[in-house]
Chains A and B, each alone.
Chain A
Amino acid sequence: MKLLWKLLRAHISVTQFAGFFITNLIGLTIVLAGIQFKEDLKPFFAQGDSFLKDDYIVVSKKVSALGSLVGSTGGFSDKEIQNIEEQPFVKTTGKFEAARFRISGGLKMPGTNLSFQTYMFFEAVPDRFLDIKVDEWKFNENTGEIPIIIPRSYLNLYNFGFAASRSMPKLSEGMIKMLRLDIFINGNGQRAEYKGKVVGFSNRLNTILVPASFLTWANSEYGAKENEEPVRIIMEVTNSSDEKLASYLSSKGYETEGNMLNSGKLAYFMRIIIFMVLGVGVLICLLSFFILILSIYLLLQKNSDKLKNLMLIGYSGFRVSFFYILFAVSLNLIATALSVSLVAWLRKLYIAIFSEMLPDINFSGISIILLYAFILFIIISLTDLFIILGKVKGIRNNK
């Protein structure tokens, strides 16, 4: 075998194969990084607690000076809601139900006599509009414990605004979830005491949420007035970056909360960018593959006399091709392994940033690119194999 290699390695051009190796490495790295990045972004796109997948929009009517003076409630009538639901870009809508009784919440500091108390409000939306999964999103009558979801922005406001400026300790989400609030309800001539437990933080819903079933019951029990028109509506839309949606909302004079329309556009552009990057990566991979094939063709052509002679003295086509196949596959293997490690390293960098943004999310790991890298490696290697064997056969048959 050593003799064969001595013969056949002649004319191997280091520059050509270095060219292949580097382009292959770059192409593979881009493709694999794109796939990995897309995979890591999946939680942002797919999970409820997501700033990218905002196909949910909360709308309200503009609060105007005139409206306030004439005592308009600013609520949505049944007719208006029906009109919204009839729009083609709206999938479903849900009403915000507000508590029609007085609520105050208190907190006792354990081991001291210190306690805080504040007025609060509750709202509820149908469960399907919640952006987080909570195991027990139900009022527990036995313990009198009400599950509560608060906006994540409240916590951020405290941690990054208030606590930072007063040099007070920051509170983690886990700590907040351990606290038990004393909830006092007043209304309809009745008074009741419950326990409140924060079970989650929402990015989508900018209010203090309790289960809809609890609020409906509590409104009938303690509620002072009859049903009021909802002032806010949540709706699920097909595509929040849709132009028609934006023009419909502005024509009706509705306002959206936060920058939900913008984040929809962001998600849309994000996807386009990832696909573009993947496309560029695939293109570079293809180019590198052509470089490899051309280099091998050239190499085989330059060594064609020797290959022919070897086959004349009885060497099989496979045996004389073996070194070239081994060479191409080894180069490919090294490039693949290197690009996987490169992607793994890159991933470490961005995952660190992601985790700071969303500590709750478990990222899936790099098994996906290992799989893709393996599949690509097999495909490229097999193609190499067939191309080299075909070319050697052509040389043997004087083609």
Chain B
Amino acid sequence: MDKILLEETLPSVFKNKTQSSDSEIWLKDISFIRGRAYLVEAASGMGKSSLCSYIYGIRNDFEGKIFFDNENIGKLRNSEWNHIRKRSLSMMFQGLSLFDELTGFENVELKNRLTHFKSKQEISEWFYMLGIEDKLDQKVSLMSFGQRQRVALIRSLCQPFDFLILDEPISHLDNENGRIFTSIMTEEVKRQNAGLIITSIGKHPEMHYDQILKL
């Protein structure tokens, strides 16, 4: 997948509101190109997480169309989505969607078993770099939100992807951890030559963006 194209997309609930006219994404034709980095900034309530959900195929309550290359995603079947979520598109959810009853490592391993993408050693190393090596065997329910964000990032990197979407990824990290987070993430994105889409309401990874869009 080399391109994600949004064609006059708009959340259905915004249909009768005027505020979306200022948006650089809603009701416009926007392309996200593989290999480039995008930052989507917005105040809360403007539909950041909705945008991520539309692209990731979780929700379809929107007007307009979204294409992966030339394929309308509204026509994809469940089995095709399974494949895309394993091979082409990785997402770090704002709510993280981790499993509370599993340990940090098990959460990552659950994804990695599906893709067989990283070795246990590589995963442990990331835990170490992000300062949560002591959380490998601790249940997620006992972690702070910032620690969970780091586990969720590692999970999202354990698969091949053409695009990586991060929904407010470092909202609960201190500057030092945010910096380490950014370097691990950009290194992996570069290695895979993937596109990067990050949303933010203020705090975002400090790095070079090819385009900054206001939602």
Contact = CB atoms under 8 A, between A and B. Distances in A.
Interface stretch (B38-46, B97-105, B128-136): B97-105
A396 B102 CA distance: 21
Given A312-B85, A315-B82, A393-B78, A3 B111 contact: no
A246 B163 CA distance: 90
B111 A313 contact: yes
A132 B101 CA distance: 73
Interface string B88-123: 000101000101011000100111011100000000
A3 B155 contact: no
B138 to A, nearest CB: 15
Given A314-B82, A315-B82, A7 B111 contact: no
**Interface of chain A: mostly helix, strand, loop or mixed:** helix
A309 interface: yes
Given A3-B106, A312-B85, A396 B78 contact: yes
Contacts of B93: 312
A315 B101 contact: no
Contacts of A317: 78
Given A314-B82, A396-B78, A3 B97 contact: no
A388 to B, nearest CB: 15
Given A10-B101, A312-B97, A393-B78, A3 B113 contact: yes
B159 interface: yes
Most B C-beta atoms less than 10 A away, residue of A306, A313, A316, A396: A313
B90 to A, nearest CB: 9
B13 interface: no
Nearest to A316: B82
B79 A316 contact: yes
Given A3-B102, A7-B99, A10-B101, A313 B155 contact: yes
Interface residues on A, range: 10 to 19
B102 A309 contact: no
B67 to A, nearest CB: 21
Contacts of A312: 56, 58, 85, 91, 93, 97
B114 A7 contact: no
Of B56, B99, B101, the most chain A CB neighbours within 10 A belong to B99
A166 interface: no
A306 B101 CA distance: 10
B204 interface: no
A316 B114 CA distance: 10
Interface in B22-63: 56, 58
B121 to A, nearest CB: 19
B172 interface: no
A7 B113 CA distance: 14
A315 B102 contact: no
Contacts of B155: 313
B3 interface: no
Contacts of A306: 99
Given A3-B109, A309-B97, A314 B114 contact: yes
B86 interface: yes
Contacts of B159: 314
A5 B154 CA distance: 22
A398 to B, nearest CB: 8
A6 interface: yes
A6 B82 contact: no
Contact of A7 (B78, B86, B102): B102
Contact of A314 (B85, B101, B106, B109): B85
Contacts of B78: 316-317, 393, 396
A280 to B, nearest CB: 42
Contacts of B99: 7, 306, 309
A314 B102 contact: no
A7 B101 contact: yes
12 contacts: A3-B102, A4-B110, A7-B102, A312-B91, A312-B97, A313-B97, A313-B155, A314-B86, A314-B111, A314-B159, A316-B79, A396-B78
Given A7-B99, A7-B110, A314-B111, 16 more contacts: A3-B106, A4-B110, A7-B101, A306-B99, A309-B97, A309-B99, A311-B82, A312-B91, A312-B97, A313-B85, A313-B110, A313-B114, A314-B114, A316-B79, A393-B78, A396-B78
Q: Which 3 A-B pairs have the closest CB atoms?
A: A314-B85, A314-B86, A309-B97
